[in-house]
Amino acid sequence: YYEACVFDSCFVPGSGLECASLQAYAALCAQANICVDWRNHTHGVCSMTCPPHREYRACGPADEPSCESSAAALRPTAQKNARLVEGCFCPEGTMNYAPGFDVCVEMCGCVGPDDVPRKFGEHFEFDCKDCVCLEGGRGIICEPKECRQEPVTCTEDGTYPLTEVNPADTCCNITSCKCNTSLCKGKPPKCPLGFDVSSETRPGKCCPSYSCVPKGVCVHGNAEYQPGSPVYSSKCEDCVCTN
């Protein structure tokens, strides 16, 4: 292995073959329960990158303990005699949840469809469902989330009920009263001569209120006159509209 490593390093540089020779040599040592932490001596040339939730070990158990492992397999004596391999393992103080689940947990419980470990008896929400991790390793059950809202009746003129997604809880809909002035029943009044229609929408109200307000003109003989203009009256009078 040493000669093969030297040959690969000298005649096939940059190919990574020397790392393969060292890896094969260390694997033979591991089969004899001799741990060789060789990668740390290559100054990063033959490093191994692990996922963020795992850590590299030069020697770890070939069958990584999990929550489904038997009590005998978890005993220190059994782990001491286990076959060694290098690889990425769960950090100290944690263990793999189960074979086929790439999740490290501090305590055994449940792992839901979101791949998040849960404690026994823990309630959580996922995909608009209320879920619970059952005691005793019986798995997870989920039920559709129940959305509650008192019935909404829109009594104010011009308002109508609108159901939309609740921004505070996107799993539920919410019904509220919205304003549409085209639905207002009140119509502008017909004001007498010399008056204009005025509309006002008060804060918090949907429909405007109407009233007749003076134009500031003079009215005579079914005609309006601006201030300062002559008013046609009888032939014997000269009249002028004043403020």
Report domain extents, the chain.
2-105, 109-146, 159-231
pLDDT of residue 203 exceeding 70: yes
Q: What percent of the chain has pLDDT over 70?
A: 89
CB under 8 Å to 58, separation ≥6 — which residues? 26, 35, 36, 37, 38, 39, 40, 86
Higher pLDDT, 243 or 196: 196
Q: What band does 30 get if pLDDT is binned at 50, 70 and 90?
A: confident
CB 163 within 8 Å of CB 186 = no
pLDDT of residue 16 exceeding 90: no
- Rounded CA Rg of the chain: 42
pLDDT of residue 14 exceeding 70: no
Question: Does domain 109-146 correspond to CATH entry 1.10.3470?
Answer: no
CB 19 within 8 Å of CB 12 = no
Q: If you search the block for the tokens 């391999």, which residue do you land on?
A: 85
- pLDDT at position 178 is 95
Q: What band does 13 get if pLDDT is binned at 50, 70 and 90?
A: low
- pLDDT at position 90 is 92
Three-state DSSP state, 130: strand
Q: Write out pLDDT tens, residues 35-79.
A: 888 888 887 888 889 999 999 998 888 888 888 775 545 555 555
Backbone angles phi, psi at 132, to 5 degrees: -145, 140
- pLDDT at position 80 is 60
End-to-end Cα, the chain, rounded Å: 115
pLDDT, mean of residues 105-116: 80
The CA distances from residue 242 to 217, 225, 226, 229, in Å, are 8, 9, 8, 8
Q: How many residues does the chain have?
A: 243
CA distance 37 to 125: 44
Residue 28 is inside which H or E element, if any?
helix 17-31
Q: What band does 207 get if pLDDT is binned at 50, 70 and 90?
A: very high
